[in-house]
Structure 1
Amino acid sequence: MNTMNLSVILVTVFMSACAQLLLKLGMQRAGVDFMQGGVAGILRVLFSPHVFSGIFVYAVSVLVWLWVLSRVDLSIAYPFVGLSFIFTLLFGYAFLGESVNAMRIGGSLLIAAGCIFVAKS
């Protein structure tokens, strides 16, 4: 795989993880239960700045991912989506104060190793 394709894949996966962080922050700050807030609650959540931004970033990442799929075999590109687990683990720890234990770190290292094997194949 060439450096350009790998770089774009990594950017896309990173953007997707950023979108997840924004969605989580939006849900925390919305202050309503999405499923029990009725139409007003749903609209409040959808139009909160973080949720709206998260949806936008996710949509852009999907468009970039389509570009990736036009250039790279699916069986090569898709395993890199696993890196989103690592990014979200780091984001959860850094921005949300979530705990990180040895099992999560070990699992993330296994995912990273798998991505390295796929990239070198």
Structure 2
Amino acid sequence: MKRTLCLILSMIAIASPSAASMTGFGTINTIIYMKNGAILFNTSAERTTPTPACQSATFPKRFAIDASTVSGQAYASGLITAYAMGKKVRITGTGTCDIFWDTETVQYFEVEN
């Protein structure tokens, strides 16, 4: 039984995605709208945790949102509003690059008051 449990836990650890990364608060300084509905954006904030392996070293402060979905459109609305108002945001990523191959996907973000 112990051996089976250890094997299962080992398999879960191997199959788990990279740890999500986070940034401090910073401004949005570039927004790129892609034909497929993806929105890529850069922040001025440094990451407070390591970047996932899939993240481009060229654009370490870039994140992605899928605006072709209803939830992604809500994210995009909040993001663009924060950008237009000059508000700072703190990003938490998923640890994966599911939307754009070299850019971490957004799990959620916070807008500073």
TM-score with structure 2 setting the length? 0.29
Higher strand fraction: Structure 1 or Structure 2?
Answer: 2
Q: TM-score, normalised by structure 1?
A: 0.28
Give the structure with the larger helix fraction: 1
